[in-house]
Structure 1
């Protein structure tokens, strides 16, 4: 009998985690189906019109804050994805599980330009809000990557050392940046991939990195997406909708490269779990970064 593949092993583990969390939350998981697996695993629970998100166990405090912030946002009329009214997160072995309302996407999905415009409008609205009545951390760029590199056992030492050195250099440059938009309540991981559509309405999801920080951090990710094929037209619609062009701001290059490094985190985690596709992409991304190639194409995988 052949050994299970990486994907089969992850699927079986995640299915067990979802069923255990649903049992504790008194939710039906009989027909649960996987939707997405990257930094987190997302499962659809069709019997209760919800999704379950599986996150690393060390994220419990972040997830508690995420639940509180999104409930506050929904109560204030902001189009954030809504957590289910259950006690959460729920710990299952070395994971934390949260439950969210499921938003059935329209078919076909809106054009990329419309999604980018919707994101720009939502971020403009978010940045005009007061901070919620929740204790928010100060945004710490590349903190998670630093922890991963310290514990990493899969990267070649020369790559790990280069990333650690470049991370320190970028953080020194970040400390000298003067924000044009000011410091305030930020999403922390805003980009078009975190926009969900429900009928004709856009919502903003994935609030795990919500914090206090320079508002430019919420804008740079969409521009950095040129790496994975996000067109100039899409980025222009985003800029127009938000109402300010951050690419003309002196700190843009530093934040863009910080985002470049930030994207490596999920690939390092996947590579450590034996995902060869992620490992190959990680190698490619690091090689282009070391070469100083800011326009090299990266792959979504």
Structure 2
């Protein structure tokens, strides 16, 4: 599939190396181009992601850049393949850097010629639960009921800040700091129109749900952005959805990688209240 896609896009695939195999399969070409192969059925999302990257570039918002050629994404056997410029060496963004990047994105005028659509907080969650082969049927049933509850709560969510362009998945792995001093957005497939709190809650739960950052780091984030999402009436709902999304991702990975089974089970148990109140310990990166 990689060879076919590269040939169609006029890139040489000889010597390509695997960067990551997960939600997407990612490869690096010798030319410094990054090739991203999406799961089946994600062609529209990939096409929109390419358009979002071009819009961000035009707006001066630092983001991963498309390797410019016509015809992106390439369709190979129903899977979308996109080509990107490799970033210089980079690390996860700090809370202050993430806040500044989000402030810049949220202040941008939405594109006029690109329909970003509304944020979709529950996209693909049902499918992930259905594929949770490592979980007991009772746990899958519980996740399904929890999903329905969150969907009901979402329809009645309280008003917050004015809606704007949101990244949609603004955890620090997707907001990175390069050696050249730029703070760059990655993985733009969830960029849409929605409440800015949807982006802000990612950093908030690093403190309140998992204890990954301390009070001082979170307060620096709040000062830089200018708003504390934890003081908003809808925070618990957005927190619960984010935790649920993280758990559903883990159960999907566990169905394909035995090394993730314990992590997936632990996350489900935390949501079920079996490990006491937040902040929970034991939530670790997926293999």
Q: Would the TM-score normalized by the shorter structure come out above 0.5? A: yes
Match of 1:173 in 2: 153
Between 244-253 and 18-27, report the one with greater CA deviation: 18-27
Task: Say yes or no: does 1:74 pair with 2:74.
Answer: no
Residues 121/258 of structure 1: CA separation in 2 closer, same or farther (3 Å cut):
same
CA distance in structure 1 between the partners assigned to 2:131 and 2:32 by the alignment? 38
Report how far residue 229 of structure 1 moved.
Answer: 5.2
CA distance in structure 1 between the partners assigned to 2:242 and 2:96 by the alignment? 21
Match of 2:247 in 1: 264
Match of 1:126 in 2: 105
Report how far residue 151 of structure 1 moved.
Answer: 5.3
Match of 1:33 in 2: 17
Report how far residue 195 of structure 1 moved.
Answer: 1.8
RMSD: 2.0
Match of 2:81 in 1: 97
CA offset digits 1:150-204 (Å, max 9, x no partner): 4554432111111111111122222222232122221111121112333111111
TM (norm. structure 1) is 0.85
Give unmatched runs, 5+ long, in structure 1: 1-16
Describe how 1:1-301 pairs up with structure 2 within 5 A: 17-45=1-29, 47-86=30-69, 87-93=71-77, 95-105=79-89, 109=91, 115-132=94-111, 133-150=113-130, 152-198=132-178, 199-226=180-207, 227=209, 230-232=212-214, 233-273=216-256, 275-291=257-273, 293-297=277-281, 298-301=283-286
Report how far residue 260 of structure 1 moved.
Answer: 0.6
Between 232-241 and 132-141, report the one with greater CA deviation: 232-241
Structure 1 contact 19–29 (Cα < 8 Å) conserved: yes
Runs of 4+ in 1 over 3 A off after TM superposition: 150-154, 226-229
Report how far residue 246 of structure 1 moved.
Answer: 0.8
Report how far residue 268 of structure 1 moved.
Answer: 3.0
CA distance in structure 2 between the partners assigned to 1:265 and 1:130 by the alignment? 33
Aligned length: 278
Residues 256/157 of structure 1: CA separation in 2 closer, same or farther (3 Å cut):
same
TM (norm. structure 2) is 0.89
Structure 2 contact 211–279 (Cα < 8 Å) conserved: no
CA distance in structure 1 between the partners assigned to 2:135 and 2:78 by the alignment? 23
Whose helix fraction is larger, Structure 1's or Structure 2's? 1
Match of 1:5 in 2: none
Structure 2 contact 174–185 (Cα < 8 Å) conserved: yes
Give unmatched runs, 5+ long, in structure 2: none
CA distance in structure 2 between the partners assigned to 1:178 and 1:129 by the alignment? 24
Report how far residue 94 of structure 1 moved.
Answer: 5.2
Matched residue of 1:58: which SS? Answer: coil
